[in-house]
Amino acid sequence: MTRPDVSSLDRQASWDGVRVAVLGFGVSGFAAADNLTHLGASVTALADQATAAQLEKAELLEILGARVDIHPGATQALPTVAGGDVDLVVTSPGFRPDAPLLRQAQARGVPVWGEVELAWRLRGPGPTGDPAPWLAVTGTNGKTTTVQMLDAILRAEGLRSVAAGNVGLPIVEAVMDPAPYDVFAVELSSFQLHYTHSMSAQAAAVLNVAEDHLDWYGGWPDGPDPVNPMAVYAADKGRVYSQAQRACVYNVADPVTEQLVRDAEVVEGARAVGFTLGMPSVGMLGVVEDLLVDRAFIEERATSAAELCSLADLLPDDGPGLDVAPPAPHVVANALAAAALARAHGVSQAAVGQGLRGFRMDGHRMAVVAAHGGVTWIDDSKATNPHAAQSSLQAYEPVVWVAGGLAKGATFDELVRSVASRLRGAVLLGRDRDLVAAALSRHAPDVPVIVVDADDTGGVDGGPALMRRVVAAAADLAVPGDTVLLAPACASQDQFTDYKARGDAFAAAVREHTQT
């Protein structure tokens, strides 16, 4: 039997008889399987394990007509779907390209899409009749904050917007919403972009590129550059610029992002727009004195700049009554990137300022937990790689640094070298704490280090007792005027379910310590 040509499938096409294997049954996997089933495809969803909530969703999906196969080893081989060979694989982003099922698909010529690719093809008519445009954001750090800032700005303009993709709604669910959106603010990880082929964002941004997820990118037997996983990682980030229609937004301080713009195949007329923490040149957004300004999207950009908001507008007004420092540099950079994307869409200066003034970051991102005895305690548990931790550490001085966890293939020498002069001390925890300790020994040998072993308090969510010991150790190192900063530079799953659980445990231990 001839396999159908899936390359032409979209929202208007008939999916009847198309046999689809959906690899993975997390948030994006379920969304893909659910919507494909509604479209009439024959769907088999595969997962090696599932939570109780996912098993409930599996039952619902089977009632709708899909098949769900969840057991150890279910994702190892291409299944038979509806009595025939698979026509299409839709993979969740966590699966590496060398996963056995994906290698089988490649060998048999079966197309592999990610959920983002599926969503792009399933876009329906927006309020104007044409599909609503995508404003896409990727980068090693700052993606979620930037997309949420962008969504706030778009809403301030009166647009029906949604933050989707790697944050908020799965993007396939967002594009299938029966009430059409005016515009989508889309966060994309490198994993998602790896499996995306035809997206053409109205405007796209790469915020930064630094070491992260090298365990995912390293060692593909027949990958494009198996000896240089950073090159493959950066190239996947650069996919966000492919066929960009109006603007490619890059970070002036990160030459890799500018090179990715230079390398991209874009729609004729698309512009390169930089953002900088300094004085912007023509065609950029930046900072003049205490103002965020635009010299890219105004007619008189050769001679002047348009005011968007002040640095003070980026500060929270509901903190715990502390003396507020200027916004951290990476927060300003995120705001500028969000503003550039919004301006590329045609949003007014006033809406940019209004959206940023009303924006509040999610928890565990530079969150002030307490101020006690002259010491400020900050939860930035979301800093799960060295680049993010470096941004946090450069916002404070002097610092007692709380770090460690799962390194994910990252190294820490460059991070420690860059912040050594700011460190009062360090408290280390987690499986790869010795890697951080070794970098401190090499580049900051005079900084006192306390290693907190898990002992009987370890294991996933053994956190409360562990964090009480971490906080006590940090308190022993801190003196009035210091900041104790949880910026782990590592993932959390060795000792906590996720970065939120780690941050919650830290905050609870800090409050317990400061209230006694």
Separation of alpha carbons 450 and 489, rounded Å: 17
Do the annotations mark residue 276 as ligand-binding? Answer: no
The whole-angstrom separation of Cα 486 and Cα 364 is 9
**If you ran DSSP here, which 8-state letter would residue 406 be given?**
B
Starting at the edge strand that comes first in sequence, how are the strands of the sheet with 134-138 ordered?
Answer: 161-165, 183-187, 134-138, 203-206, 247-251, 271-275, 284-288, 291-294, 306-310
| Residue 364 to residue 506: CA distance in whole angstroms | 10
**141 marked as part of a ligand binding site:** yes
| 516 known member of a binding site | no
Q: Is 257 annotated as a binding residue?
A: no
- Residue 145 labeled ligand binder: yes
Annotation-wise, does 283 bind a ligand? no
User: 481 among the known binding-site residues?
Assistant: no
CB atoms within 10 A of CB 512: 13
367: amino acid identity, one letter: A
Question: Do 179 and 162 contact (CB within 8 A), yes or no?
Answer: no
Between the alpha carbon of residue 351 and those of residues 133, 396, 475, the distances in Å are 18, 31, 43
Return the structure tokens found at 198.
């035809």
Two tokens, residue 512: 């317990």
Task: Using CB atoms within 10 Å of the CB of residue 243, give its burial: 0 to 12 exposed, 13 to 18 middle, 19+ buried.
Answer: middle
Residue ranges for the known binding site for ATP are 139-145
Annotated binding-site residues read: 139-145
